[in-house]
Structure 1
Amino acid sequence: MQRTLRDTMKMHHLRDLLAVAEKGSINAAAKYLGVSQPALSRSVRELEKEMGAPLLERQATGAALTPMGNLFVRRASTAMNELRRARDEIQQMQGSVHGTVVACVSSMAHLTLLQEALGTFVRRYPNVVLRVIEGVFPTIDARIRSGQVDFYVGPAPESGTAPGLQLEVLFATRRVVLARKGHPLAGARSLAQLTEASWVTTSVTSQAEREFAGVFSGRGLKVPKLALQTESALSWITAILSTDMLVMVPEQWLGSPLTNDLTVPIPIEETLAGAPMSLVRRSSVPSTPASEYLCDLLRRAASRLDVAA
């Protein structure tokens, strides 16, 4: 009788191929999983036989996915993430406080929302592993759609979201220009006085140069030099403290203990609108109770910011 995928494909086959894809070699994947290299190679061969196509290309320096392997890994990754989420959801619905929540949180969301929500979440789910990735939407889009990341909190993507994702606006933002204390342009009163400076951008789109240039060109001004692009707060803080670079950041950074004693806002007359703070997650898949609880805590923190504003 002809075998079917349902009859022969097992969870460890998916796990093993995903480990090789992540680690870049069978040897490294075997060490990571705690299995022997021959056993892992056999598992991959069994899966390739089942699929009727080579999934890995063995190379002297490791192993690379074939085109068919890339297609399979995208589907397998989503399936494994959904199985993890289903397990966590069932256990949490039964009263367990175990599981994993993976969130991508922008630097401003760390500062304004996560620091308020984190303590309450940890007390409610002390044994849930919370994995927090710092970043902005373009760096995390595909991982949300595949289920590797449960949700994103940060500046809303300029071009919206792909089908299958839902975007919830949490609060509006404005931007300010920050410089190190003692900066020669600290007394400037308009953007026109800042066009000769070098800048850092904390872009929230995949086209940082266009996003940055629009702030100036839209006002008929010369576009200044963009010296550094980063999604990391630590990177732009380091840059403006060690150089004469300037940065545009949400006004919530004013008064932050991370920068308050070292930076000053440049009091320009222009109002700089910022991307609204948003929550993005998949629309077709329910969140686990722990993930939903954390999202609700972040919403509450955001609503208090709106009232304060």
Structure 2
Amino acid sequence: MKLNSLRDFLTVAERGSLRAAARSLGVAQPALTRSIQELERELGVVLFERRARGVHLTPMGEVFQRRAASVRSDLRRAQEEIDQLRGETHGHLTVCLSSVPHIALLPNALRPFRTRYPKVMLNVIDAVFPRVEASLLDGTIDCYIGPPPEEIPGETAMEKLFDNTRVILGRKGHPLAHARSLRELVDAEWITTSITHKAEEELGPLFAKHGLPAPKLVMQAQSALSFLVAMAYSDMLMMLPVQWVQFPLWRDVLAVIPVEEVLPAPPVCILYRTGLPLTPAAEYFCDMMRRASMHMHTLAD
């Protein structure tokens, strides 16, 4: 199987048409068609379903795309690893960070990383693990930093950076600002960050544990900007990691409602694929995030 065939296949899959892929690659469309046909003959399956408006992956094509994307990522990473070991400072690094490492770790890690690798293109994705699991496993993402999933995929390793806790947040001047227990917040409206279809999974068990009725969930969001705008311009509350209120940019907007109940939070961890070492740039980025996390232990003490 030729590497050019993988390149051609992935470009057609990403562009959605042979014509667009041929333009992108700078090759003649008939030559690209022959390349795809040869690949299909070699695999013994049909990879694309031809339609009036472009092409779509077949189920077999979708399976092959995941593997082909992983091969492409591994080859790119291998070239960049060799270059960086030779002293070069260029390349690409794609990381996924949840809100906590964005707020608490990245500010202290970004400057030293840029100083050490000024020519590396850093792509930062704002998400939690379930949304990027496939991308981590196929090599599109170098590493993920944030709360871990309930079950760690067999092809990944996990390293805990620090334990965490949550607080109740609302806008400055919130009418329930003087509440001191969850019981006083049973009539409040809540935003949930749950990414499942069962939004009550995040707050429901906490309220039930203290013998309280289910909270009134009126909004579901994953974006930090959505959280901030919604809380700043309404009376909705959120349960978020404590780092949110410690972040200087938001101190004048949000305030903690100091309830007496303990509000546990998942730890913050680094996850990466096993069996394939991180590039020097990726390892250095993780080291800077580890170093930044030591400050979190100091705060906890």
Give the TM-score, by structure 1 length.
0.91
Q: 1:112 aligns with which of 100, 104, 110?
A: 104
Residues 184-205 of structure 1, C-alpha deviations (whole Å, 9 max, x = no match): 2222111122222221122377
SS state at 1:279 partner: strand
Report the counterpart of residue 114 of structure 2 in structure 1: 122
Q: 2:32 aligns with which of 32, 40, 46?
A: 40
SS state at 2:154 partner: coil
Q: Return the alpha-carbon distance in structure 1 between the equivalents of residues 258 and 76 of structure 2.
A: 49
After the TM superposition, which residues 142-161 of structure 1 pair with which residues of structure 2 at under 5 Å, given as runs? 142-157=134-149, 159-161=150-152
Pair 1:26–1:214, CA change in 2 (3 A): farther
Pair 1:52–1:109, CA change in 2 (3 A): same
Report the counterpart of residue 64 of structure 1 in structure 2: 56
Q: Return the alpha-carbon distance in structure 2 between the equivalents of residues 195 and 203 of structure 1.
A: 19
**Equivalences, count:** 300
Residues 213-265 of structure 1, C-alpha deviations (whole Å, 9 max, x = no match): 11212222111122222222111111112222111111111132332111111
2:233 is equivalent to residue 242 of structure 1: yes
Superposed displacement of residue 99, structure 1: 1.2
After the TM superposition, which residues 157-306 of structure 1 pair with which residues of structure 2 at under 5 Å, given as runs? 157=149, 159-203=150-194, 208-306=199-297
Q: Aligned letter for 2:138? A: S
2:141 is equivalent to residue 131 of structure 1: no
Q: Return the alpha-carbon distance in structure 1 between the equivalents of residues 103 and 299 of structure 2.
A: 16
SS state at 1:20 partner: helix
SS state at 2:153 partner: coil
Superposed displacement of residue 40, structure 1: 3.1
Residue identity (%): 49
Q: Return the alpha-carbon distance in structure 2 between the equivalents of residues 93 and 247 of structure 1.
A: 45
Give the TM-score, by structure 2 length.
0.93
In the alignment, is the contact (CA less than 8 A) between 1:105 and 1:135 conserved in 2? yes
Report the counterpart of residue 47 of structure 2 in structure 1: 55
Q: 1:140 aligns with which of 132, 137, 160?
A: 132
**Unpaired runs of at least 5, structure 1:** 1-8
Q: Aligned letter for 2:291? A: R
SS state at 1:140 partner: helix
The root-mean-square deviation of aligned C-alpha atoms, in Å, is 1.8
After the TM superposition, which residues 80-95 of structure 1 pair with which residues of structure 2 at under 5 Å, given as runs? 80-95=72-87
Residue range with higher mean Cα deviation, 192-201 or 246-255? 192-201
Superposed displacement of residue 50, structure 1: 2.2
Pair 1:161–1:40, CA change in 2 (3 A): same
Report the counterpart of residue 19 of structure 2 in structure 1: 27
Report the counterpart of residue 4 of structure 1 in structure 2: none
Q: Return the alpha-carbon distance in structure 2 between the equivalents of residues 204 and 169 of structure 1.
A: 22
Q: Aligned letter for 2:73? A: N
SS state at 2:88 partner: coil
In the alignment, is the contact (CA less than 8 A) between 2:104 and 2:247 conserved in 1? no
